[in-house]
Amino acid sequence: MEAGLVRDTLTVLSGVGSGVLSAAFGVGGAVVSTPAVRALGLSPLLAVGTTLPSIFPSAVSGTLRYRREQLVLWRVVAVTCPPGIVAAVAGSMASHRVPGEGHLLMVMTALLLGYTAIRTARGRDEPVPGSDRDQRRERPLLYAGVGTLAGFLSGLLGVGGGVVLVPGFSAAAKLPLKTAIATSLACVAILAVPSTVTHAFQGDIDWRVALLLTLGVIPGARLGAAATVRASDARLRIAVALGLGAIATLYLVGEASALWSSG
């Protein structure tokens, strides 16, 4: 699609949807904005990089809403993010070395989303025994490992890392789903910064599109966070699984076809 008022409007609307998904599911929102900007005409590598600048304001907006509800575990954030930052830079630099002209990156993103949807649908919220502090002390290596993988994928695929953080916190670390989403979103905001900077230096960002996405994500994130706070855990888990599963299916079909054609 050629640049113009229609594309700009669709880009802002994609940002709104990205912001809602980011805050509601804690996944960074690029799982919506990346395929959206691909459909609007950006190349695969530009799509990976261009969505990253909008992740930070979206995640910050949603995190502030969750902080009011005391759902963010800041000590978990402090353990998760340092290795994730290093990994985010490494992932961003590796994005240019993956074959397939960027289409393979998109296929990998779709598969990751599908896996996350399945894990979320099959998981169950479990109460965390003892105090939060006791639990966080028992799992620093787990949080660091989750952060490393999330950071690498944030830089490599431009997805914010939440698709790893949410199932990692909820399924592996046994945090309640709303707490996992809120804590993930705080981490996503931090991990988006090194990924954005590295992709900017590599020339992977269309700043006009990135700005338009940002205009939409901030109000969208406030709406998404408010909806999650009010939702029951069971309904929230179903919504997360169905939403990510639908996006993954559409994403995989389109990008696998493009990859096949380019081969």
Rounded Cα distance between 7 and 27, Å, is 25
pLDDT digits (tens, 9 = 90+) for 26-78: 766 666 787 788 888 888 778 888 888 888 888 888 888 889 989 999 999 99
Rounded Cα distance between 203 and 5, Å, is 25
Give me the pLDDT at residue 147, please.
93
Report the predicted TM-score, pTM, of the whole model to 2 decimal places. Answer: 0.76
Judged against a pLDDT cut of 80, whether residue 159 lies above it is answered with no
Query: Quick one: pLDDT band at residue 108, thresholds 50, 70, 90?
Result: confident
Evaluated on CA atoms 190, 19, 232, 117, the torsion sign reads negative
| 3 state SS of 28 | coil
